[in-house]
């Protein structure tokens, strides 16, 4: 599947508008001055691919979660999203007021299956292709 086809699917699978996706993807390099304001002791920036996790149910809504990371973590997170979706999704609620970057959320299994079920199927999911591949 081409990048353009994946972008079209991302727009269809989420509430994001075409122009918002274009704007988010057009600037792929973080300026050093901006990076320095985000974290202490900045040395520079490093480019990584921008992708989406497979859609997962969160608080009754299927969402595609944006992801910027290396391939090994991306693969593990995609498998985790598949486990969560297969288990019926999760619920999330705010635990109180906090700055958005520091907000904590309580997350629990939505369906009748427990977290131990998800852990038990994880090994078999390593060998199965993802539904979104």
In the predicted structure, residue 40 carries a pLDDT above the cut 70: yes
Residue 30: closest CA among 56, 48, 10:
48
Q: Provide the b/e sequence for 18-29 (b: ≥16 CB within 10 Å).
A: eeebeeeeeeee
Per-residue pLDDT at 102: 46
Let me know whether 39 and 52 are in one domain: no
Distance CA 114, CA 50 (A): 31
pTM: 0.51
Structural domain range at position 27:
1-47
Residue 123: pLDDT band with limits 50, 70, 90:
low
Summarised one tens digit per residue, pLDDT across range 47-100 is: 777 788 888 888 888 887 888 887 788 888 888 888 888 888 888 776 666 555
Distance CA 51, CA 6 (A): 9
Order the strands of the 90-94 sheet from edge to edge: 61-63, 56-58, 90-94, 105-109
3-state secondary structure of 92: strand
In the predicted structure, residue 130 carries a pLDDT above the cut 50: no
Q: What is the mean pLDDT of residues 15-35?
A: 73
Strand partners, 90: 58, 109
Distance CA 57, CA 89 (A): 4
Per-residue pLDDT at 127: 45
Let me know whether 65 and 120 are in one domain: yes
Summarised one tens digit per residue, pLDDT across range 110-120 is: 555 554 555 45
Let me know whether 52 and 18 are in one domain: no
- The tally of domains found in the chain comes to 2
Let me know whether 20 and 57 are in one domain: no
Per-residue pLDDT at 65: 80
């Amino acid at each position: 599947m081409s990048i353009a086809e994946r972008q079209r699917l991302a727009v269809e699978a989420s509430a994001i508008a075409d122009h918002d996706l274009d704007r988010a993807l057009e600037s792929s390099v973080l300026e050093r001055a901006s990076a320095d304001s985000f974290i202490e002791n900045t040395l520079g920036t490093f480019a990584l691919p921008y992708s989406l996790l497979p859609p997962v149910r969160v608080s009754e809504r299927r969402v595609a979660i944006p992801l910027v990371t290396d391939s090994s973590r991306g693969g593990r997170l995609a498998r985790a999203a598949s486990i969560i979706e297969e288990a019926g999704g999760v619920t999330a609620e705010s635990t109180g007021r906090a700055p958005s970057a520091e907000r904590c959320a309580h997350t629990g299994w939505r369906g009748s299956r427990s977290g131990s079920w998800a852990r038990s199927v994880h090994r078999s999911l390593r060998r199965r292709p993802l539904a979104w591949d």
